[in-house]
């Protein structure tokens, strides 16, 4: 059985006070769920979030990291630094990082390998552009992205990776893939994982859908057979929406 995982991606939002207030407001209301509840926050919030979520079932993630442990990489944060504050997850290869910050499938793979080495679970984002969808390249695109992300990863560690299928045209646009379309792509991603790592591993890997998930569509999405969770941007910023998402 795969434990469902609902992860908020706060992107570049919230001050420390806003983040702490958020957790204090939601923590009791997300306590009785079988879902794994995660908040992926800007670096400046992570230490305080780890403190304020102690004794709750909320896990904390970063939104990016470098693949080197230390060095002359001005402005970057290393896996060692995230490990020091016991961050649970790290988003890798979000489409905004690919689009605005030159993230490539090669750097995604290096980061996945490093995150696993440091005991941080990667949430690896894959997904097609609108043009790729319209020209029926979705499967080719996600296959390549998933295969590259998993290159040289020890098969025993693949179950620690969460894959987030996020069609780029659905992120922050209010457009969602239909739950059936999302499920079709996600079951295809599971086939790709099976071809790389074997069926058994593929049955353990959790694959989320992301792209304009809201309290009013989360249940339909989560009812699909292969969808194990959601990566949620905009709606995760609002405490009452986050509570509804986690208790779908
Ligand atoms: C995201 O940031 O990963 C995302 C899916 O955003 P939104 O839910 O706002 O579309």
The pLDDT, as a whole number, for residue 177 is 86
CATH topology of domain 5-246: TIM Barrel (3.20.20)
Q: Which of 143, 190, 148, 138 is nearest to 168 (CA)?
A: 138
The pLDDT, as a whole number, for residue 200 is 96
With the CA atoms of 108, 111, 112 and 116 taken in that order, what torsion angle do they form, in degrees rounded to the nearest 10? 180
The C-alpha atoms of residue 193 and residue 105 are separated, in whole angstroms, by: 16
The pLDDT, as a whole number, for residue 172 is 85
The answer to whether residue 68 is catalytic is: no
37 forms bridges with which residues in the sheet?
6, 58
Residue 170 CA: nearest ligand 1 atom is: 10
- End-to-end CA, the chain: 18
Residue 213 CA: nearest ligand 1 atom is: 8
- Contact criterion met (CB below 8 Å) for 210 and 166: yes
Query: If you take atom 2 of ligand 1, which residue's CA is the nearest one?
Result: 233
The answer to whether residue 224 is catalytic is: no
**Looking at the predicted complex, does its ipTM rise above 0.85?**
yes
If one counts every other C-beta atom within 10 angstroms of the C-beta of residue 112, the result is: 26
Q: Give distance in angstroms: CA of 71 to centre of ligand 1.
A: 31
Tell me the per-residue pLDDT of 20-76, one tens digit each, with 9 for 90 and over.
999 999 999 999 999 999 999 999 999 999 999 999 999 999 999 999 999 999 999
Give the chain's residues under pLDDT 50: none
The C-alpha atoms of residue 146 and residue 203 are separated, in whole angstroms, by: 15
Provide the whole-model pTM. Answer: 0.97
């Amino acid at each position: 059985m795969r434990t469902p995982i609902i992860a908020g991606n706060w992107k570049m939002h919230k001050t420390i006070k806003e983040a702490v207030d958020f957790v204090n407001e939601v923590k009791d209301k997300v306590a009785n769920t079988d879902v794994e509840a995660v908040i992926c926050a800007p670096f400046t919030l992570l230490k305080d979030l780890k403190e304020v979520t102690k004794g709750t079932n909320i896990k904390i993630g970063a939104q990016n990291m470098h693949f080197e442990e230390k060095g002359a990489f001005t402005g970057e944060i290393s896996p060692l630094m995230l490990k020091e504050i016991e961050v649970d997850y790290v988003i890798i290869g979000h489409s905004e990082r690919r689009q605005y910050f030159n993230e490539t499938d090669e750097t995604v793979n290096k980061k996945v390998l490093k995150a696993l080495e440091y005991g941080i679970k990667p949430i690896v984002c894959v997904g097609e552009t609108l043009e790729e969808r319209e020209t029926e390249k979705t499967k080719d695109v996600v296959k390549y992205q998933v295969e590259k992300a998993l290159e040289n990863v020890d098969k025993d560690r693949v179950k620690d990776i969460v894959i987030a299928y996020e069609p780029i045209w659905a992120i922050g646009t209010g457009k969602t893939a239909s739950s059936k379309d999302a499920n079709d792509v996600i079951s295809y991603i599971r086939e790709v994982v099976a071809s790389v790592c074997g069926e058994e591993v593929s049955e353990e890997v959790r694959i989320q859908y992301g792209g304009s998930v809201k309290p009013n569509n989360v249940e339909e999405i989560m009812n699909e057979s292969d969808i194990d969770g959601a990566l949620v941007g905009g709606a995760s910023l609002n405490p009452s929406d986050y509570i509804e998402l986690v208790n779908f």
